[in-house]
Structure 1
Amino acid sequence: MTDTKQLDNDAEHAAFAHVSRGFYPTIVALFTATLIISNVCASKGVQFLQGFDFSIGPVHLLPISTDGAFFLFPLAYILGDILSEVYGFRATRRAIYLGFGSLLLTSLCFWIAVELPPAQFYENQEALTTVIGVVPRLVLAGVLAYFVGQLLNSLVLVLIKQRTKEKHLWARLIGSTVVGELADTLIFCSIAAGVIGITTWRDFVNYVIFGFVWKTLIEVVVMPVTYVVIGLIKRNEPTYTQRL
Structure 2
Amino acid sequence: MTEPVLSGRPTQQIERDDSASDRRTTGPAAPAFAQLSSPYFPILVAGFVGVMLISNITGTKGVVLFPFLNFSAGPFSMHGLVTDGAFYLFPAAYVLGDVISEVYGFKAMRRVILSGFGVLLLASLCFWITVQLPAADFYEGQQAFEAVAGVVPRFLAAGLAGYLVGEFLNSLVLVKMKARSGERRLWARLLGSTVVGEFADTLIFCAIAAGALGISTWQDFVNYTVIGFAWKTLVEILVMPITYRVTAALKRREPTYQQALQAHP
Amino acid at match of 1:97: L
**CA separation of 1:194 and 1:51: change in aligned 2, threshold 3 A:** farther
1:62 aligns with 2:85: no
158-167 or 58-67: bigger deviation = 58-67
**1:29-80: CA deviation from partner (whole Å, max 9, x where unpaired):** 0000000111222222223354665321121222322222111100000000
**Of 108, 133, 136, which aligns to 1:116?**
133
1:144 aligns with 2:144: no
1:47 aligns with 2:64: yes
1:207 aligns with 2:224: yes
Aligned to 2:51: 34
Following superposition, the deviation at residue 16 of structure 1 comes to 4.3
Aligned to 1:125: 142
Amino acid at match of 2:41: Y
Does the 8 Å CA contact 1:41/1:69 hold for their aligned counterparts?
A: yes
**3-state SS of 1:134 partner:** coil
Between the two structures, name the one with larger relative contact order (CA 8 Å, sep ≥ 6).
1
Aligned residues: 244
**3-state SS of 1:195 partner:** helix
**CA separation of 1:121 and 1:241: change in aligned 2, threshold 3 A:** same
Following superposition, the deviation at residue 201 of structure 1 comes to 3.9
Within 5 Å, give how 1:135-214 maps onto structure 2.
135-214=152-231
Within 5 Å, give how 1:17-32 maps onto structure 2.
17-32=34-49
**3-state SS of 1:239 partner:** helix
Separation in structure 1 between the aligned mates of residue 41 and residue 134 of structure 2, nearest angstrom? 40
Amino acid at match of 1:150: E
1:243 aligns with 2:263: no
What's the TM-score once normalised by structure 1's chain length?
Answer: 0.91
**Of 52, 74, 99, which aligns to 1:82?**
99
Separation in structure 1 between the aligned mates of residue 258 and residue 21 of structure 2, nearest angstrom? 39
Identity of aligned residues (%): 56
Runs (5+) with no aligned partner, structure 1: none
Separation in structure 2 between the aligned mates of residue 110 and residue 31 of structure 1, nearest angstrom? 20
Separation in structure 1 between the aligned mates of residue 151 and residue 28 of structure 2, nearest angstrom? 48
**CA separation of 1:199 and 1:47: change in aligned 2, threshold 3 A:** farther
Amino acid at match of 1:173: L
Q: Which has the larger radius of gyration?
A: 2
48-57 or 66-75: bigger deviation = 48-57
Runs (5+) with no aligned partner, structure 2: 1-15
Does the 8 Å CA contact 1:67/1:196 hold for their aligned counterparts?
A: no
**CA separation of 1:236 and 1:199: change in aligned 2, threshold 3 A:** same
Separation in structure 2 between the aligned mates of residue 49 and residue 6 of structure 1, nearest angstrom? 75
